[in-house]
Chains A and B, each alone.
Chain A
Amino acid sequence: DIQMTQSPSSLSASVGDRVTITCRASQDIRNNLGWYQQKPGKAPKRLISAAFSLASGVPSRFSGSGSGTQFTLTISSLQPEDFATYYCLHHNSYPLTFGGGTKVEIK
């Protein structure tokens, strides 16, 4: 099974900060990776598919990069509505696995 190691598990940042979250896969998953945002009590929301394709309606301050085993989600200028938990998901093969999550909190 492919393991997804996400870091950091939490971070504190201010509005306007640039934030970077990383996911590392235990083996090559090409670009078969998505990023999701989840707010408390809500279902996750897709942000990025195929490692770097922005989902419809997602602000351009979100971007994804990487391929193979190393992937990054970047928020170029953190906004108040971005405080949430973020997850990566690999879909290269079954079982699909999520990273452990990164909670982005207000500094």
Chain B
Amino acid sequence: EVQVVESGGDLVQPGGSLRLSCATSGFTFSNYWIYWVRQAPGEGLQWVATIKEDGSETYYVDSVRGRFAISRDDAQNSVHLQMNSLTAEDTAVYYCTTRRALSTSYFDYWGQGTLVTVSS
């Protein structure tokens, strides 16, 4: 059974940092690109970051580039999102999702999400 489980969401003050984790099982992790997608309260979906299956490429939405860093740990079948210099606009549920390499089927597996709240 495929499992994708996010963790690390919390209440943090503006300017603070947080590290999200995405633990996976049930599929061959090293064959998958991993994505973070977020959803602000009452709003739509926004793609945030991507890491290639071998970690050689990363991509970010402009609003987080230079503040967020995505990384992967193939030994632990997990991905992390280091978030620095957080602002209220980063408040959202953060989802981890996947795509098998070379596939055109994006976001097949999803986690349940982890809530990040940036507030003083």
Query: Which A residues are within 8 Å of any B CB, using their own CB?
Result: 32, 34, 36, 38, 42-46, 49-50, 53, 55, 87, 89, 91, 94-101
Cα of A100 to Cα of B45 in the assembled complex, Å: 8
* Cβ contact of B105, chosen from A38, A44, A45, A46, cutoff 8 A: A46
Question: Is B61 in the interface zone, CB < 8 Å from A?
Answer: yes
Question: Is B28 in the interface zone, CB < 8 Å from A?
Answer: no
Report chain A residues within 8 Å CB of B50. Answer: 94, 96
Whether the Cβ atoms of B107 and A44 lie closer than 8 Å is yes
B97 to chain A, nearest CB (A): 8
Closest to A36 in B: B107
B86 to chain A, nearest CB (A): 20
Starting from the known contacts A44-B45, A89-B106, 4 additional A-B residue pairs (CB-CB under 8 Å) come to: A46-B107, A91-B106, A95-B61, A96-B106
Cα of A101 to Cα of B45 in the assembled complex, Å: 8
A26 to chain B, nearest CB (A): 16
Cα of A42 to Cα of B105 in the assembled complex, Å: 20
Cα of A55 to Cα of B105 in the assembled complex, Å: 8
B84 to chain A, nearest CB (A): 20
Whether the Cβ atoms of A53 and B59 lie closer than 8 Å is no
Interface flags, B36-71, vs A, CB<8A=1, else 0: 010000001111001000000001011000000000
